[in-house]
Structure 1
Amino acid sequence: MGVKLEVFRMAIYLTFPVTMFWISNQAEWFEDYVVLRKRELWPPEKEGQRQEIEEFKERIRKQREEKFLRVAQQNS
């Protein structure tokens, strides 16, 4: 029974990694799991979103400049 047991064990040792490799390289699985999960975590930007961010940055910059000018005028 020693040889049969060793052949069975070797078959199990080889079957598991080959099966996992085959499953993980299926295009449908990749699309369903990985790509959809990536889009869930990092959704694509909307067209107006970048412009809104730039406008917000500009407003904050102007507010800071005005604040610094007021402080500089009070200290003069």
Structure 2
Amino acid sequence: MGVKIEIFRMMLYLSFPVTMFWISNQAEYFEEYIIKRKREIFPVHEEAQRKELEAFKERMRLRKEERMLKSLSVNSEN
């Protein structure tokens, strides 16, 4: 009897994560929940928000370039 219950427990322990992985990776689930939620958070039609985000990205890129140039100029002086 001990071997049968151990086999049952092992099947239960392995089937739960495999089942959850299979359910969560269904294309319908992904489309229905993940993509809709992303569109709620980041609306496609908001032009002002998109422009603001692009301006922020550009400012961050310029700041990074300035830091890199500054570090290169310090290193070249040494």
Scaled by the length of structure 1, the TM-score of the pair is 0.59
1:18 maps to amino acid: V
Aligned to 1:21: 21
Amino acid at match of 2:26: Q
Residues 1-76 of structure 1: matches in 2 within 5 Å? 1-47=1-47, 49=48
- C-alpha offsets along residues 9-61 of structure 1, whole Å, 9 cap, x if unaligned? 000011001101100110000000000000011111445x37x97xxxxxxxx
Q: Which has the larger radius of gyration?
A: 1
Structure 1 stretches of 4+ moved >2 Å: none
Structure 2, gaps ≥5 residues long: 53-78
Distance 1:42 1:12 in 2: 40
Match of 1:44, SS?
A: coil
Percent sequence identity is: 63
